[in-house]
Amino acid sequence: MNNSKKKTLLLLLSVFVIATCGLIYELIAGTLASYLLGDSITQFSTIIGVYLFAMGIGSYLSKFFKDRLLTWFIQIEILVGLVGGISATILFFAFEQASGFHILLYGLISLTGILVGLEIPLLMRILKSELEFSELVSQVFTFDYVGALLASVLFPLFLVPYLGLLKTAFFFGMLNILVAILLCFIFEKGIRYLRFLRAQAIVLLLVLLVGFVYAERIQNFTETLNYNESIIFSKSSPYQRIVLTNVKGTTKLYLNNNLQFSAADEYRYHEALVHPGLSHLYGPATILILGGGDGLALREVLKYPSVQKVTLVDLDATVTDLFKNSASLKKLNEGALSDKRLTLINTDAFTWLKKQQTQFDFIIIDFPDPSNFSIGKLYSTSFYEEIKKVLKPNGAFVVQSTSPFMARKSFWCVNATMKAVGFQTQAYHVYVPSFGEWGYVLGFNHFGSNTVYLPQQLRFYNPQQWEEMKHFPIDMAEVPTAINKLNNQVLIHYFEEEWGKVQ
Amino acid sequence: MKRRTFIKWSGTLFALPALQACDLLSGNANFPITFTGPNASTAHKIRTQEFPDPQITKELDTIIVGGGISGLSAARWLKNAGHTNFNVFELESAVGGNARGGKNKISEYPFAAHYVPIPNNTFTELLHFFEQHQIITGYNEQQLPVYNPYYICSEPQERLFFRGIWHDGLPPKNGLNTNEWHELQRFLNQMEQFKLAHGVDGKPAFTIPLEWSSTDPAYTRFDQMTMQEWLEKESYTQPFTHWFIDYCCKDDFGTPASKTSAWAGLHYFASRNGKAANCSTFDILAWPEGNHFLTKCLMADVAAHIQTQHLTYKIEKEQAHWKVFVWNEATQQTILYLAKTVIMACPQMVNKHLLKALMPIDYNYFQYYPWLVANITINKKSELNGSQDLAWDNVSYNSPSLGYVNATHLSLASNQQETVITYYYNFSINSAKEERLTIASKTPEQWKQFILDDLKLIHPTIANNISAIEVNVLGHGMISPTPGFLSHPARAQLTKGLPGLYFAHSDCSGISIFEQAFYRGIEAAKQVLHYGS
Ligand SMILES: Cc1cc2nc3c(=O)[nH]c(=O)nc-3n(C[C@H](O)[C@H](O)[C@H](O)COP(=O)(O)OP(=O)(O)OC[C@H]3O[C@@H](n4cnc5c(N)ncnc54)[C@H](O)[C@@H]3O)c2cc1C
């Protein structure tokens, strides 16, 4: 093969790479937009449309490039690598920060499209002295379309599952730049500003490399990737990441990636949390809710006419503000967070509780599952000792206690721990479709067996149901466990062991 | 995500030349470093004794020199005995000595001492003190003390960075190979036997206070060798066993196994046998502010008697009186106190200058190795997690430091992001004097680098996660129990004291721990009470 042939082949290979990369960027943008915004049909179709249109603009603009075509070609190649490589990362960050996300999304897509669109015409002009016109068109487009095929097969089968979106983008960005570097070396003579291009390419290559290496870390900042649902609200409070999603009109709340409720069946969860305890008490007047900043348990509590005063302690003002002010969420909790009987306190429950003097008739404890040591403290004997101090002698309290099916030992450990501080307990469970079997434990000194008062028009709970909820089939039946204390934190170990298996 | 982190990342990825990027990822150290060491300039004046002659003379029954744990414990005992005409003179602006602490907007933290083990049940004076301050909340049917659960160090207590990852526990529950594991078990079993052993005099072989340990030569002979020699004699060969014991010696006594008396070293492992209703012998009591908590308890009992910024610089004997010369740093005045009795609750390196010929003992025998304690404010404590979550005490096998303690570990707040960690380093390779010279020459910038270089081995990007460092360099950190300390005549002389002048500082016992300081304070107070009657 003579020298000129070799160079031709090289240029054609770069068409191939460009085509692959170009399509990959398009796919990344489409996937990302559907992840983040939902409605994948709209997202993909608009992204593809805008991208192709931008390529058209690029092709049109190519006529304004008169000379030094190879130099321009390499410069553009480098730019494609940079923009394509970092666009996914930029979009992730921008999604969490800014309101103009759409503008940025389509801006970046257009920029990539224009740059890619510039390349093919430029290349054809560079090659026109080497090949016949018919040869030229046939070869360039063959490489172009084969590259596109490769990209579209690799993307879903290999790239997304193994590399993830960010790494894929960085990887193909580097590939683009490597082609540019290669061209710089092979065509040394025909290129102006060679040094500048080389230096630029190498620096940017390193930048992308850093991005590639740290892609996981970047992704951790932006867990948004984990949701396969369209996100209608997302915000990081000082304590947690709050994400509201919407699937076919159903709202779901995630805190740090954990589903808190789905509007489709949250009534089951919250009715089961509140009514078994509250409906058996005589004229409960003062209620304490720990956790539960969404106001949904509160909504159930406020259905009791005897209730005079509710104190709700939730750490995160961002959550309570959201559920107090957003129109759709207010509808869900029936404006409970604005009720006159409510005192809302945003602070840490344990430290708050330790300072309390007054006593309550009923206490609802709705904390996240005991998945780490600091939350584990909220399920310890010491915590229940504090509860004892603020619970009236005839009162009761209820603890959400994870799934007795998925985490059987954890569930019964909560039960055993409550008993260890001298309470009598009644464990029960309920099926909540979006969670599975879910468990609660009631703690009390005395507890009547008759329903005293039950609000009208509940959607799930009634006294017959209660009899069933108390019954545990063999696969969830009580198992002996240790007691969760601050200085052993056994619950965390059970929980990790049991949920670890599931995940 | 916070704005700051966003800028950090975008800066790393897009704006910076790649060469610099590497440096940035491993951390830029643009946070303040401050010093909180002891008031050395005033303290050093006792050597030259350049103070104006006293203008005022006052009289008191008893004077306690030094407001550390030992001085405060003596004061409490006197007060409880109805002996109330006394003062405690402390040179610093706050009492507590090595059991002081600081505070910032995130947490309280210790300046030095950070915990006490569950005490032996025979040490009833200490149990009573704990009861008085709700550290013990009651006793169960078997008369075992119930400890306040908020003060028992919660899980995870310790973790060790070993062979590249964090392991739960110290010694670690896993990560050792079979030989290492078996040898360690052999050692721990031997210690369990020592815990139960008694001498021919019927006393426990090893207990705390160590004045109550058996004097049976079968055990006291261990004072003639170093801990290192003892290990070799008992054919412990695994590097891990040696590392572990060396670590423990440095942690408790400020010297490596090769410089620590084996008798003292064995006390670390075999003297604690406390039983409790709601925790085990191996549990410990800790507070965010460390033993400063105990200082506050003691202080509450005797606050009215404390005078801070009062440096005692000279003591003389005149007929029935002790003349105690005190420099009030606040008013810049010298006062002469005439007292019937005196309790010296400051270290012997100070007493040497105060008492001179009055107490002709061999002061060279008292060696204090220097320590560095750094309180580091961390922005995001979750970044310190690893294969095991951040524990209360975090130790690295490869580091010459003693690791760090997490101050907010005992906080009940479930969602605290920031924390303060207390980092410990003990300088004991060369002689104490040489080590003091090396550390004296370090600039703040060098200390910062010194600490970061070590911490980066376990947390490569920690510098990005630090917002401040407060350094406490202790030139004379703690007394070291070198071989022979038990039988050294100076100890007996100090225990006896002079007529009307007694010694309370923990260094009289040879080991520097809370229980010993507390015990010594009581003993000196008893001597004072006895002297009058
Ligand atoms: C880094 C470090 C970590 C430690 N960690 C622990 C731990 O975790 N647990 C534990 O039990 N122990 C620990 N210790 C040991 C601790 O020293 C003892 O527990 C105890 O606090 C000692 O009390 P003390 O009264 O004997 O002495 P000190 O604390 O030394 O008190 C002496 C006091 O006398 C004052 N003073 C000195 N000279 C004069 C003078 N001329 N006039 C007036 N006042 C004077 C000093 O300012 C000081 O306040 C640690 C020590 C160090 C250095």
B23 interface with A at CB cutoff 8 Å: no
Establish how many alpha carbons lie within 13 A of residue B282's alpha carbon, considering only the half-sphere containing its beta carbon.
Answer: 12
One domain for residues A206 and A232: no
- What is the pLDDT, as a whole number, of residue A186? 82
Cβ distance A236 to B412 less than 8 Å, yes or no, reads: no
Secondary structure E strands in B14-55: 33-35
Nearest chain B residue to A241 by CA: give it: B1
A112 interface with B at CB cutoff 8 Å: no
Name the nearest CA neighbour of B71 among B475, B530, B508.
B508
Residue identifier of the C-alpha nearest atom 23 of ligand 1? B69
Please state, in angstroms and rounded to a whole number, the distance separating the CA atoms of residues A394 and A392.
5
Neighbours of B450 (CB within 10 A): 17
One domain for residues A207 and A235: no
Domain boundary among A223, A253, A277: A223
User: What domain count does chain A have?
Assistant: 3
Asked if residue B204 has its Cβ within 6 Å of ligand 1, the reply is: no
Query: Given B14, B21, B149, which is nearest A381 (Cβ)?
Result: B149
Establish how many alpha carbons lie within 13 A of residue A182's alpha carbon, considering only the half-sphere containing its beta carbon.
Answer: 14
B286 interface with A at CB cutoff 8 Å: no
DSSP code per residue over B350-417: HHHHHHGGGS---GGG--EEEEEEEEEEES-GGGG--SS---SEEEETT-SS--EEEGGGG---TT--
Interface with A, mutate which of B389, B415, B417, B464 (most A CBs under 10 A) = B415
Cβ–Cβ under 8 Å, residues A372 and A406: no
One domain for residues A285 and A257: no
B108-110 and B101-103: which strand pairing? antiparallel
Secondary structure E strands in A263-386: 286-291, 309-313, 342-345, 360-366
Cβ distance A382 to B150 less than 8 Å, yes or no, reads: yes
One domain for residues A138 and A103: yes
The mean pLDDT of B388-397, rounded to a whole number, is 95
Residue B159 has pLDDT above 50, yes or no: yes
Residue B99 Cα to ligand 1 midpoint, Å, equals: 6
CA A333 to chain centre: 23
One domain for residues A385 and A493: yes
Residue A158 CB burial class (10 angstroms; 0-12, 13-18, ≥19): exposed
What's phi and psi for B175, nearest 5 deg? 100, -10
Cβ–Cβ under 8 Å, residues A425 and A441: yes
Chain length of chain B: 533
Residue A46 Cα to ligand 1 midpoint, Å, equals: 72
- What is the pLDDT, as a whole number, of residue B1? 28
Q: Output the CA torsion A199→A201→A206→A209 (10° steps).
A: -170
**CATH number of the domain bearing residue A398:** 3.40.50.150
Please state the atom number of ligand 1 nearest to the C-alpha of residue B310: 43
Name the nearest CA neighbour of B69 among B100, B45, B40.
B100
Residue B518 Cα to ligand 1 midpoint, Å, equals: 11
- What is the pLDDT, as a whole number, of residue A223? 52
* Buried residues in B15-33 as b, exposed as e (16+ CB within 10 A): ebebeebeebbebeeebeb
Q: Which two tokens stand for residue B388?
A: 């095991």
Strand, helix or coil for residue A210: helix
Please state, in angstroms and rounded to a whole number, the distance separating the CA atoms of residues B160 and B227.
22
Asked if residue B370 has its Cβ within 6 Å of ligand 1, the reply is: no
Residue B477 Cα to ligand 1 midpoint, Å, equals: 8
Shortest distance between the Cα of A38 and any Cα of chain B, in A, equals: 22
Phi-psi domain of B114 (left: phi exceeds 0; alpha: psi -120 through 50; beta: other): alpha
B8-58 pLDDT, tens digit per residue, is 333 333 333 333 333 434 445 678 888 887 777 777 788 888 899 998 999
One domain for residues A100 and A148: yes
Nearest chain A residue to B9 by CA: give it: A218
One domain for residues A201 and A243: no
Nearest chain B residue to A211 by CA: give it: B13
Largest CA distance in chain A: 98
Name the nearest CA neighbour of A33 among A42, A23, A21.
A42
One domain for residues A340 and A399: yes
One domain for residues A244 and A203: no
Shortest distance between the Cα of B409 and any Cα of chain A, in A, equals: 9
Cβ–Cβ under 8 Å, residues B208 and B123: yes
DSSP code per residue over A19-56: HHHHHHHHHHHHHHHHHHH--HHHHHHHHHHHHHHHHH
One domain for residues A332 and A345: yes
Cβ–Cβ under 8 Å, residues B222 and B262: yes
Domain boundary among A211, A238, A261: A261
Residue A178 CB burial class (10 angstroms; 0-12, 13-18, ≥19): middle
- What is the pLDDT, as a whole number, of residue B29? 65
Residue identifier of the C-alpha nearest atom 14 of ligand 1? B113
- What is the pLDDT, as a whole number, of residue A221? 59
Shortest distance between the Cα of A487 and any Cα of chain B, in A, equals: 4
SS3 content of chain A, % helix, strand, coil (to 5): 60, 15, 25
Name the nearest CA neighbour of B246 among B114, B400, B453.
B400
Task: Give chain A positions within 8 Å (CB) of B282.
Answer: none
- What is the pLDDT, as a whole number, of residue A339? 96
Neighbours of A221 (CB within 10 A): 18
Identify which has the larger pLDDT, B2 or B194.
B194
The segments of chain A whose pLDDT lies below 50 read 225, 503
Name beta bridge partners: B35.
B471
- pLDDT-derived band at B335, boundaries 50, 70, 90: very high
Strand, helix or coil for residue B260: coil
**CATH number of the domain bearing residue A177:** 1.20.1250
Please state, in angstroms and rounded to a whole number, the distance separating the CA atoms of residues B358 and A143.
100
Domain membership of residue A232 as a residue range: 228-261
Please state, in angstroms and rounded to a whole number, the distance separating the CA atoms of residues B177 and B180.
5
Task: Give chain A positions within 8 Å (CB) of B10.
Answer: 93
Asked if residue B478 has its Cβ within 6 Å of ligand 1, the reply is: yes
Phi-psi domain of B314 (left: phi exceeds 0; alpha: psi -120 through 50; beta: other): beta
> Has A366 been annotated as catalytic?
yes
What sign has the CA pseudo-torsion B127, B132, B138, B141?
positive
B56-79 pLDDT, tens digit per residue, is 999 999 999 999 999 999 999 999
- What is the pLDDT, as a whole number, of residue B27? 46
Averaged pLDDT score across all residues of chain B: 91
What's phi and psi for A391, nearest 5 deg? -105, 130
- What is the pLDDT, as a whole number, of residue A229? 62
Shortest distance between the Cα of A347 and any Cα of chain B, in A, equals: 9
B417 interface with A at CB cutoff 8 Å: yes
Q: Residues 135 to 154 of B: which have CB under 8 A from any A CB?
A: 149-150, 152-154
Please state the atom number of ligand 1 nearest to the C-alpha of residue B95: 49
Residue B43 Cα to ligand 1 midpoint, Å, equals: 14
A250-255 and B393-396: which strand pairing? unpaired
Nearest chain A residue to B280 by CA: give it: A487
Residue B177's alpha-carbon distances to B1, B162, B163, B248, B479, in angstroms, are 42, 12, 11, 21, 36
Please state, in angstroms and rounded to a whole number, the distance separating the CA atoms of residues A405 and A414.
14
Neighbours of A325 (CB within 10 A): 11
Asked if residue B99 has its Cβ within 6 Å of ligand 1, the reply is: yes
Please state, in angstroms and rounded to a whole number, the distance separating the CA atoms of residues A326 and A4.
67
Nearest chain A residue to B390 by CA: give it: A373
Cβ distance A377 to B10 less than 8 Å, yes or no, reads: no
One domain for residues A29 and A53: yes
Cβ–Cβ under 8 Å, residues A364 and A313: no
Domain boundary among A261, A286, A319: A261
* Buried residues in B54-79 as b, exposed as e (16+ CB within 10 A): beeeeebebbbbbbbbbbbbbbbbbb
Cβ distance B6 to A93 less than 8 Å, yes or no, reads: yes
Q: Which two tokens stand for residue B197?
A: 């052993």
One domain for residues A279 and A339: yes
Please state, in angstroms and rounded to a whole number, the distance separating the CA atoms of residues B502 and B403.
37
